[in-house]
Every structure is written in structure tokens, then in C-alpha cells.
């Protein structure tokens, strides 16, 4: 991939190979801002690039160093692939490799494990076969292991639960503040002008609670990132 001008710039360190076997490669993309459209969700062009890359990786896993050139590529988008910070899982398979053409399929799954897009990629491999050298898997890549994918799925589910809880905290914070303002108005005190001692203490407790939730959220994100991605 380092020899290409597109993939290192578009996908860069956010793309990880999580499993590889003959005819099958699995990878994960941590969605960043450069991967999204104006709506803040994964851009279809990013998926198209990964169909091209994934199909080539699947052909390479069949024992080819060079993987030929694309003759056609088709993509079907089923749902949003996710937003910034989400993980997208890709599964690339070489369905058939003949003397002239190799046919591949690439499927994508969001953090909930739902199929979000699928693509087909056909490559012309005559010259690639002539130029082929013995295939050696990249260092650190192990044969296909579903436990890695299960770990990613568990991580996504945990992140989704934490996001929901964080949103609940924000709603609680908003409601508490509104209740506090209503109480102030009810006893004839304008929150913007004067606070008695009880109100000052309550407001301080409220602010402390906000900081505690924010600190806990940031700590969880750091621990989660360090655990799964090594910092």
C-alpha cells in the first residue's frame, strides 16, 4: 500500500488488517473526518476506495505479489457506514481466480454488525501472474481468527452504550439546570442576579457533577483507545 498515492493519504493509520487467510482478508477502518461527507457520515467514495483495495488484498492472499488492474467494480450502499470515531469492518474474499480474471467480493459492516455496503471487484491478472513471486504474509498478520472480529464488535457495542449514557447525562444536566432556574423564579429570585447560600451550594454541586461526568467520559475514551489501538 505504501507504493500507492491514494490509500496512504486517504486511509493512512486508520486502516488495520485484522485477519488474513488464503482468499480472504478482513480489515477495520477507524472513521476520521477525511473519510466523511458534508453530513458527517462515511463518504461513499471512501467505501469505493476500500472495495478497490480490499479486492486487491484478496487477490494478493491467493499468492500474487502484483494484483493486476481493475476491469470493473460495482458497489451497493445499504445504510450509513458510521460517523467520525466509529469502526467499519470490511471482509474481502476472492470468489474465483482464473487464468485471466480474478473475481472478488467486499462486504462492510457497521459497529452494530449490520451489513452497510457490499461491492464486487474484477481484476485482469495475466501480467500479475507472470510477475508473481512467492507470497509471504506481512509480519504480525495471523490466519483468519474470528475472535479478533468478535473483540471489535464487543468494543463497538460498548462504545455505543457509553455514547447513549453520555447523551442521557447531558439531558439530565439540561433538565437539572432548567429545574433549578424554575425553582429560583418560583421564590422570586432571578438566577442571573442573586443566589442565596443554598442555591450557591446546589449550583456548585451541579457544576462538580458536570465535571465528574466529563472527566469520567474522557478517561474511558483514553483507556479504550489505549487498550484496543495501543495509544
Q: Over the stretch 165-188, which tens digit does the pLDDT of each residue have?
A: 777 777 777 777 777 667 666 655
Distance CA(94)–CA(72), nearest Å, equals 15
* Predicted confidence (pLDDT) at residue 60 exceeds the cutoff of 70: yes
* Cβ within 8 Å of residue 66, ≥6 positions away: 127, 128, 131, 132
The pLDDT value given to residue 196: 46
* Predicted confidence (pLDDT) at residue 197 exceeds the cutoff of 50: no
Distance CA(17)–CA(29), nearest Å, equals 9
The helix or strand, by DSSP H or E, that contains position 95, with its residue range, turns out to be strand 87-97
pTM for this structure? 0.56
3-class SS string, 168-195: HHHHHHHHHHHHHHHHHHHCCCCCCCCC
Among 51, 53, 16, smallest CA distance to 31 is for: 16
The helix or strand, by DSSP H or E, that contains position 109, with its residue range, turns out to be strand 101-109
Question: Which triple of cell numbers denotes residue 150?
Answer: 468478535
Mean pLDDT of 122-148: 65
Report the range of poorest mean pLDDT among 51-65, 74-88, 130-144. 130-144
Pairing of β 87-97 and β 69-77: unpaired
The pLDDT value given to residue 177: 72
Q: What share of the chain is helix, strand, coil (3-state, %, to 5)?
A: 45, 25, 30
The pLDDT value given to residue 111: 85
Q: Give CATH for domain 7-143.
A: 3.10.129.10
pLDDT tens-place string over residues 211-231: 776 777 777 666 665 655 554
Q: Are 71 and 123 in contact (CB under 8 A)?
A: yes
Q: How confident is the model at residue 164 (pLDDT cuts 50, 70, 90)?
A: confident
Report the range of poorest mean pLDDT among 33-47, 99-113, 169-183. 169-183
CA angle in degrees (0–180, nearest 5) for 166-172-177? 130
Q: What is the mean pLDDT of the chain?
A: 77
Question: Which triple of cell numbers denotes residue 164?
Answer: 447513549
Amino acid at each position: 500500500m505504501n507504493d500507492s498515492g491514494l490509500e496512504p493519504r486517504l486511509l493512512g493509520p486508520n486502516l488495520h488488517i485484522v485477519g488474513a487467510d488464503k482468499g480472504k482478508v478482513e480489515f477495520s477502518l477507524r472513521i476520521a473526518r477525511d473519510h466523511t461527507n458534508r453530513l458527517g457520515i462515511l463518504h461513499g467514495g471512501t467505501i469505493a476506495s476500500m472495495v478497490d483495495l480490499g479486492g486487491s488484498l484478496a487477490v494478493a492472499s491467493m499468492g500474487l505479489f502484483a494484483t493486476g488492474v481493475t476491469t470493473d467494480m460495482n458497489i451497493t450502499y445499504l445504510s450509513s457506514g458510521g460517523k467520525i470515531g466509529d469502526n467499519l469492518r470490511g471482509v474481502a474474499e476472492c470468489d474465483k481466480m482464473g487464468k485471466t480474471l480474478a473475481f472478488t467480493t467486499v462486504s462492510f459492516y457497521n459497529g452494530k454488525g449490520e451489513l452497510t455496503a457490499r461491492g464486487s471487484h474484477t481484476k485482469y491478472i495475466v501480467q500479475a501472474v507472470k510477475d508473481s513471486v512467492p507470497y509471504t504474509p506481512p509480519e504480525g498478520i495471523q490466519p483468519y481468527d474470528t475472535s479478533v472480529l468478535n473483540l471489535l464488535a464487543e468494543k463497538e457495542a460498548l462504545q455505543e452504550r457509553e455514547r447513549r449514557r453520555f447523551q442521557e447525562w447531558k439531558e439530565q444536566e439540561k433538565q437539572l439546570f432548567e429545574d433549578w432556574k424554575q425553582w429560583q423564579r418560583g421564590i422570586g429570585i432571578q438566577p442571573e442576579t442573586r443566589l442565596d447560600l443554598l442555591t450557591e451550594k446546589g449550583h456548585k454541586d451541579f457544576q462538580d457533577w458536570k465535571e465528574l461526568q466529563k472527566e469520567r467520559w474522557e478517561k474511558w475514551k483514553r483507556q479504550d483507545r489505549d487498550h484496543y489501538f495501543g495509544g
